[in-house]
Amino acid sequence: MVAWDQARVQAFRKDLLAWYDKNKRDLPWRKSQDPYAIWVSEIMLQQTQVATVIPYYQRFMAALPTVADLAQAPEETLLNLWQGLGYYSRVRNMQAAAQQVMADFGGRMPDQVDSLLSLKGIGPYTAAAIASMAFGRVAPALDGNLFRIVARLFRLKDDIALPKSRKVFMEILDILIDPDRPGDFNQALMDLGACVMTPSNPRPDNHPLAAYDASYQVGDSDQYPVKSKKVKQTRHDLTAYFLVDSQGNWLLRRHGEAELLTGLWHFPMLEQSMVYEEVTAAELTEPLLYWLREEALVEGDSPLSSQVVSPALGQVKHVFSHRIWQVQLVGLRLDTSSSLQEGWCWVAPEAVGQLPLSTLQEKLMQVLVHEREAVR
């Protein structure tokens, strides 16, 4: 627990906020106390760096400036606006929450933490951030930055990977938070963690709160926070098929609800491992043709032929939080007279960019930029 008296707590608040007032980052979502704008920014900032988020945030807010706009936006619009940010469940949950706001709160964002927590996709951190920054509620917003700062300030050895540790850190922040400027207090700690007390710089020369930092004084800041190891990511080998018809159109598939990258369009992919330079044409095409007949073609027994153009166009690596995809791109010509099931389509190359695509698909298309001659 905090071993500081009230005078030290008040001095800490004063010094932290004085540093923040002088050094705070100029971020577009800080120009407004609109709870919707703060919500959008906080969801985007999950798993994504600030510099990356800024243009996405500005484009999103220009297209969907209110919670009502988000609630009624077509899914394709949402996915296009989110394209490249990844973790697409975030924006789908945002829309579901916006619809809750319209239905249950008269179109106005709730101003209490408990009510915000009732919205889909909003957890304790995001609820506290919105409540404190938009409505002045005294609610500490505990995220990775604040775990690190508090652990270093008090040399806490509680493992932050364990759910029970959250209570310890929240009890400390409940004492430290400034009741008069709770939103600024939360943002000040965020900036301190992002710019000064970073993971890679445990003993910064410009530490504005060194006098309060117990680990800094002892010289063991690099030992905090304590965090047990994550489960190792699993590797999966996939083949992505760049399929071109006689007109030069590309075959794309939209991932279904039970799959990763739901709702986004990709080259068809199968999980399989091969030595592509040594594989025979039959080994390369038979699994694909069987899959297409079963899943893609309206008339599964219609004529279907393929020709391998390049068995090894290139390889890309795509990392999720829990797995790694190693994807080999191969090129084939494909001819069929059958129409396609929903979720499959032939697309002219110049129109592909109009569809919601994942970062993985963009990586695969970059391979084609360098290997285009191989598939002509």
Q: Is the pLDDT of residue 280 over 80?
A: no
Domain end: 197, 223, 249, which one?
223
pLDDT computed for residue 149 by the predictor: 96
At CA 123, angle to CA 120 and CA 125, rounded to 5? 145
266 occurs within a structural domain: yes
195 occurs within a structural domain: yes
Instruction: Read off the tokens for 370.
Output: 């360098």
The residues with which 328 forms a beta bridge, in sequence order, are 239, 315
Confidence at 292, pLDDT banded by 50, 70, 90: confident
Q: Is the pLDDT of residue 158 over 50?
A: yes
Residues 99 and 187 in one domain: yes
Residue 238, domain CATH: 3.90.79.10
Average pLDDT taken over every residue of the chain? 90
**Domain limits at 260?**
234-375
Residues 193 and 66 in one domain: yes
Which range has the top average pLDDT, 58-67, 228-237, 259-268?
58-67
Average pLDDT over residues 339-363: 91
Q: Quickly tell me which residue has 């994942």 as its tokens.
A: 358
Residues 152 and 26 in one domain: yes
Instruction: Read off the tokens for 170.
Output: 């929240």
How confident is the model over 122-142, as pLDDT tens digits? 999 999 999 999 999 999 999
Residues 116 and 183 in one domain: yes
How confident is the model over 4-56, as pLDDT tens digits? 999 999 999 999 999 999 999 999 999 989 999 999 999 999 988 999 999 99
Options 42, 171, 299, 373, the catalytic residue: 42
Is residue 271 annotated as a catalytic residue, yes or no? no
- Residue 215: closest CA among 272, 156, 133, 284: 156
pLDDT computed for residue 375 by the predictor: 44
1 occurs within a structural domain: no
pLDDT computed for residue 303 by the predictor: 58
Residue 212, domain CATH: 1.10.340.30
Does residue 199 have a cis peptide bond before it, meaning omega lies within 30 degrees of 0? no
Instruction: Indicate the number of domains in the chain.
Output: 2
Residues 259 and 336 in one domain: yes
What is the pTM assigned to this prediction? 0.73
367 occurs within a structural domain: yes
228 occurs within a structural domain: no
pLDDT computed for residue 374 by the predictor: 45
Q: Is the pLDDT of residue 373 over 60?
A: no
229 occurs within a structural domain: no
Is the model more confident about 240 or about 3? 240
Residues 183 and 276 in one domain: no
What is the C-alpha to C-alpha distance for residues 224 and 121, in angstroms, rounded to an integer?
Answer: 29
Domain end: 202, 223, 244, which one?
223
Residues 33 and 54 in one domain: yes
